[in-house]
Amino acid sequence: MNRSRSLWITLLLVWSLLPMIWQLITSFTSSDALVSTGIPFEHRWTLAHYRDLLSGDPPFWRYLLNSTVVGGLTTVLTLLLAVPAAYGLARMSPTRRSTIRITVGAAALFPYVLLFLALLELAREFQLGNSLLAIALPYAGLALPLALLLLISAFEGLPNDLDDAARLEGLGLLDRLRLVLMPLITPAIASTGILIFLFAWNEYPIALTWLSRDDLLTLPVAMARIAGSSIYAVPYGAYAAATVLGSLPLLALVLLCQRQIVAGLTNGAVKG
């Protein structure tokens, strides 16, 4: 039984890691080897793809910085709105809370691409093009319903007695949130923040339309330009190198916050 389980786990790991290993090998394979065979196992290793990306105009790290800034702004703005709103909704009566939860759930499932033209008209009206903060604003609005759903469940797991005890101590609403309640749902807030960051990091249509300056492009738009930079050949090596570099910040984020992620995802799964 244990051997069978280990075998299945090994096969699952190989299946999951094989695309990433393939991209990593491709990023270090020379263009000649990729063009001649299409298979990155010719042992013609090179750092040219990384050098070209990092010495470009603008350099590739600029796109990573832009996506990090956008993701950070979106996460902060969304959590600033979602945490107090989720607390208020969690303390409503069950009937009103259920109605609002259904409404928020419908908003979270609504395909935001259908709002694209409306958002574009707003961007033109308020002249929000070519600004990282400007695209963080619609990102925060689009991520807010999902954040509310996750945080409402977290606040519902906290007994009302905590609020009563905090009131007896003379704490106001903001102090109750900051000093008593939020520390108890830190894993949920952290996992929600990471999901928001990933959404902002990967978003493409709004960034493609609202940003036209090369030095302000986010990572998905920049990678799309790399993939379509030539009509005669696909730059497999450059695209693979961009994929590897673009994955490093997310990998670091997950490794640093893995405990919070696991605790947030399993919060409430076991009740004794």
Confidence of residue 228 (pLDDT cuts 50, 70, 90): low
Task: Specify if 36 maps to a domain.
Answer: no
Task: Specify if 115 maps to a domain.
Answer: yes
Q: What is the CATH number of the domain that holds 92?
A: 1.10.3720.10
Q: Is the pLDDT of residue 234 over 70?
A: yes
What's the whole-number mean pLDDT along residues 209-229?
86
What's the whole-number mean pLDDT along residues 235-257?
86
CB atoms within 10 A of CB 268: 12
How many structural domains compose the chain? 1
Task: Specify if 270 maps to a domain.
Answer: no
**62: CB partners within 8 A, 6+ apart:** 215
Confidence of residue 272 (pLDDT cuts 50, 70, 90): very low
Over residues 186-195, the pLDDT tens digits come to 888 988 999 9
Q: Which amino acid makes up residue 147?
A: A
d(CA 166, CA 180): 8
d(CA 82, CA 90): 12
Task: Specify if 218 maps to a domain.
Answer: yes
What pLDDT does residue 3 have?
A: 77
Task: Specify if 58 maps to a domain.
Answer: yes
Q: With contact defined as beta carbons under 8 Å apart, do 27 and 52 qualify?
A: no
Mean pLDDT value across the chain: 84
Q: Is the pLDDT of residue 79 over 60?
A: yes
Task: Specify if 155 maps to a domain.
Answer: yes
Omega of the bond leading into 94 within 30 degrees of 0 (cis): no
Burial of 240 (0-12, 13-18, 19+ CB in 10 A): buried
Confidence of residue 80 (pLDDT cuts 50, 70, 90): very high
CB atoms within 10 A of CB 221: 23
Q: Is the pLDDT of residue 9 over 90?
A: no
**Residue, of 75 and 177, whose pLDDT is higher:** 75
Task: Specify if 7 maps to a domain.
Answer: no
Over residues 93-150, the pLDDT tens digits come to 888 888 888 899 888 888 888 888 888 888 888 887 788 988 999 999 999 999 999 9
What pLDDT does residue 84 have?
A: 92
Q: What is the 3-state secondary structure (H, E, C) of 189-223?
A: HHHHHHHHHHHHHHCCHHHHHHCCCHHHCCHHHHH
Q: Is the pLDDT of residue 269 over 60?
A: no
Give how far Cα 256 sits from Cα of 72, 92, 164, 176, Å. Answer: 16, 35, 35, 28
Domain with 137, as residue range(s), is 45-265
**246: CB partners within 8 A, 6+ apart:** 64, 219, 223
What pLDDT does residue 145 have?
A: 93
Q: Which amino acid makes up residue 270?
A: V
d(CA 131, CA 124): 13
Task: Specify if 33 maps to a domain.
Answer: no
